[in-house]
Amino acid sequence: MPTTDTQARLATRYLVEDLRAAGVIDVIPEEQLLAHSPSGEVFESNQALAYFHAGWTAAKARNDE
């Protein structure tokens, strides 16, 4: 049975893959970075990008109310 940490890493990986497929993330392969297209923020890890995107989405939804 996978550990909680393994499950969290897989969930993050799937989220980032989904965001890439939706065009929300651009990969900068030369620098091994991930760019969050709507905000222009750049990240070195899937986890940092996933946390940022969750907060960004929540803030955007709140501003849209």
**Cα-Cα-Cα-Cα dihedral of 37, 40, 41, 42, to 10°?**
70
Domain residue extents for the chain: 4-64
Q: At what angle do helices 46-64 and 4-21 cross, to 10 degrees?
A: 60
| pTM of the entire predicted model | 0.79
Range list of H helices, 1-65: 4-21, 46-64
pLDDT at 4: 83
Q: From first to last of its 65 residues, what are the pLDDT tens digits of the chain? A: 668 888 888 999 999 999 999 999 999 999 999 999 999 999 999 999 999 999 999 999 998 88
pLDDT at 6: 85
At 25, the amino acid letter reads I
